Amino acid sequence: MASVVRSVWVWGATAFLAVFEYLVMAGILLVDRDPLRRRAGRFLHWCGRTVTRLLPAWQVRLEGQIPDAHEGPFLIVGNHQSHTDIPVICWLPLQFKWVAKKELFSIPVAGWMFGMAGQIAVDRKDSRAGAKALIQAARFLEQRMSVLFFPEGTRSRDGNLLRFQDGPFRLALKTGVPILPVVIEGTGDLLQRNSLLFTDAHLFRVRVLAPVGASKQEWTDASALRDAVHARMQAELDAMRGRDATTQSVEAEVDALAP
């Protein structure tokens, strides 16, 4: 019962706030002539942070090596556990656009604001959509605007990292923009896959790792860069969960022997 009450409040309050925020966003666009829509982007991030304040128990904790804004741009890569990753990652004190599936942009009011703020939509039914998104991301990076990718492409069912897609890492090597790995933990426990009910999870950690250089002199190809970043993020995720290498090895052996 508590989960139902909690969920009705969060979804209802989010919908109510979205209408007000949409009107404010429309007003911002009337006066914002910046082609990068920085003001709209900052306001959208404020909206995301506001969602995470709807319950007093919710806490977002920023950890790790958070770079100064002037050090960018960065090609940010984050793991993907649930829909709540987006408002949680809005706590990063950086300006960035994110790449997300087109369906999110069709959500009434809230989704429309993604497009208004200049986020990058990917139509997964279009075989060329990935290339189009990379071209658009490259244009942002050229103008010193960081871009966020969720390279798993979809949400993980168990919280462990899925295989990363090559696209963001090919883009990093092409542009020479360093990769900023970000590990999110706790959002998968809050809103599980195919459910609209919020659990009593309350701590969401966003750990920023040191940037990874993306010069062609350092890496043989995008696959090597991809695998190195994946291994580093998985190791950090395991450390955040208190799992050591021995535990992981035993679990891998059990999984291999399981029918």
121: left (phi over 0), alpha (psi -120 to 50) or beta: beta
Q: Where are the domains of the chain?
A: 2-243
pLDDT at position 79 is: 95
Structure tokens at 106: 């069709």
Residue-wise pLDDT for 60-107, tens only, equals 999 998 888 788 799 999 999 988 999 999 999 999 999 998 898 989
Cis ω for the linkage preceding 56 (within 30 of 0)? no
Query: Of all residues in the chain, what percent carry a pLDDT higher than 90?
Result: 71
- Smallest Cα–Cα separation from 211: which of 169, 235, 180? 180
Residue-wise pLDDT for 211-229, tens only, equals 999 988 889 899 999 999 9
Which CATH number applies to 2-243: 1.10.10.10, 2.160.10.10, 3.50.50.60, 3.40.1130.10? Answer: 3.40.1130.10
pLDDT at position 244 is: 56
pLDDT at position 14 is: 93
* CA dist., res. 244 & res. 230, Å (int): 17
pLDDT at position 193 is: 74
